[in-house]
Amino acid sequence: MSTATDVAAARDDRVASRPLAARVLSRPEVGSLVAAIVIFLLFMLVAAPFRNVANVGTILYGASTIGIMAVPVALLMIGGEFDLSAGVAVTTAGLSGSLLAWNFGLNVWIGVLLSLVLAVAIGAFNGWLLLRTGLPSFLVTLGTFFILQGVNLGVTRLATGNVASADISDMDGFASAHAVFGSAVTIGPVNLKITVLYWLVLTALGAYVLLRTRIGNWIFAVGGDAAAARAVGVPVRSTKVGLFMAVGFCAWLSGMHLLFQFNTVQSGEGVGKEFIFIIAAVIGGCLLTGGYGSVVGASIGALIFGMTQLGINYAGWNPDWFRTFLGVMLLLATIVNLYVKRRADLR
C-alpha cells in the first residue's frame, strides 16, 4: 500500500479540505475591510476635498482618536466583557492629570503619572467588581460610567469653580509633555498627529498579543467559554482584570492627548464615546458574546469612522445624518458577522 492511499484511508472522504477563498472569507476582519474600501471609493467619487492628499492627516487623526480606544475595547470584547465607562474614563484621565498638577502646583509630569495610576486603577476596579459580584460587565461598567461622569463634573467644579479644568500650558513640564502626547510631524503635504503613531503601534501590538502569544490564546478562551478555560488551567480572573486595565491604560493615553492638545479638558466630555469604540470593534468583526474578533478589524472600524465623519463634511452633506449612518453601519456589520459565523460553523 502506498502512503497516498493510507492518507486517503485515514481521512473521512466526506470532508474535503477548505478552499483558500473560504478560509480568507472566514477571517473576522474581512467584512470591515470590504466596507472600508466601499466607503473610501464612495467618498473619493462624491467629495472633492477627500481626494486632496493633505486631508489624509485629518482623516487619520479622526480615526486614531477612536482607534486608540477601539483596540483595547476589542480585546476586552473578545475576552467576553464590555466597558461602558471607557468614554468617560478618558475624560477622567485628562481631568485628573490636569487638576492634580494645577491644584498642587506640581510639575505636569507628576500629574501625568498620577493620572496613569488612577486610570489603570479604574480598569482594575471594574474587573475586580465584575469578578467579585459575578454581575454582567454591562451593569458593572454602566455603574462606573455614571459614577465617573458625576465625579468628573463634581470634582472639577470643586477644584476650579468651573466646568473645565484650568489652562496648564504655562506650567513646568508642559512643553515636553505636549511633545509626547500632542505633537505632530509634517511629511510632504500631510500633517500627521502623534496619535496616529500611537494608534498604529497599539494595533500592531494588540494584534501580535492576540494572535501570537499565550495571553492572546487565553483572551479568546475566556471570552469563548470561561468555564472551559478555567478547567484547562487558564487564569481567567487575571486575564479579565488585565484586559480592563489595558482599557484603563489606553484611556489614560487618550486623556493625555486630550489634555495636551487643548491645554484644558471639558468635564462633560466623553459621554457616548464608549459606544463608538464598541461600534468600531463590532464593525471589525468582534462578537458581542465574546470569543471571536480581531484587533486589526477594530482599527479598520475606527478608520471607517474617521473617513465617514470627514467624508460627510467634505461631500457637503448634512452632518446631522452622521449618527444615522453609523447606526446603519453597525446593523449591517452585525448581520454580516452573524452570517459569517454561521457559515464558519457549517464549514
Give the shortest CB-236-to-other proteins separation in angstroms.
Answer: 10
Q: What are phi and psi of 264, to 5 degrees?
A: -150, 155
Neighbours of 259 (CB within 10 A): 30
Look up cell 457637503; give the residue: 316
Query: Using the 8-state DSSP alphabet, how is residue 19 labeled?
Result: P
Cα(242)–Cα(12) distance, integer angstroms: 42
Give the shortest CB-240-to-other proteins separation in angstroms.
Answer: 15
Nearest to 184 by CA among 176, 174, 175, 194: 194
Class of residue 215 by CB neighbours under 10 A (exposed 0-12, middle 13-18, buried 19+): middle
Give the shortest CB-307-to-other proteins separation in angstroms.
Answer: 29
Q: Residue 247, CB half-sphere, CA atoms under 13 Å: how many?
A: 32
DSSP 205-243: HHHHHHHHSHHHHHHHHHHH-HHHHHHTT--HHHHHHHH
134: left (phi over 0), alpha (psi -120 to 50) or beta: left
Give the shortest CB-291-to-other proteins separation in angstroms.
Answer: 5
Paired with 164 in beta bridges are 266
Which is nearer to other proteins, 202 or 310 (by Cβ)?
Answer: 202
**Cα Dmax for the chain:** 88
Provide the binding-site residues for other proteins, judged by CB under 8 A. Answer: 10-12, 15-18, 23, 212-214, 216-218, 220-221, 224-225, 227-235, 287, 291-292, 341, 344-347
Which is nearer to other proteins, 235 or 268 (by Cβ)?
Answer: 235
Look up cell 471589525; give the residue: 284
Give the shortest CB-75-to-other proteins separation in angstroms.
Answer: 15
Which is nearer to other proteins, 132 or 212 (by Cβ)?
Answer: 212
Give the shortest CB-119-to-other proteins separation in angstroms.
Answer: 27
Paired with 192 in beta bridges are 185
Which is nearer to other proteins, 105 or 233 (by Cβ)?
Answer: 233
Which is nearer to other proteins, 172 or 225 (by Cβ)?
Answer: 225
Alpha carbon 112 to its chain centroid, in Å, reads 21
Which is nearer to other proteins, 37 or 231 (by Cβ)?
Answer: 231
Terminus-to-terminus CA distance in the chain, angstroms?
Answer: 31
Give the shortest CB-34-to-other proteins separation in angstroms.
Answer: 21
Give the shortest CB-82-to-other proteins separation in angstroms.
Answer: 18
Query: Using the 8-state DSSP alphabet, how is residue 266 labeled?
Result: B
Which is nearer to other proteins, 26 or 263 (by Cβ)?
Answer: 26
Give the shortest CB-192-to-other proteins separation in angstroms.
Answer: 28
Cα(272)–Cα(84) distance, integer angstroms: 9
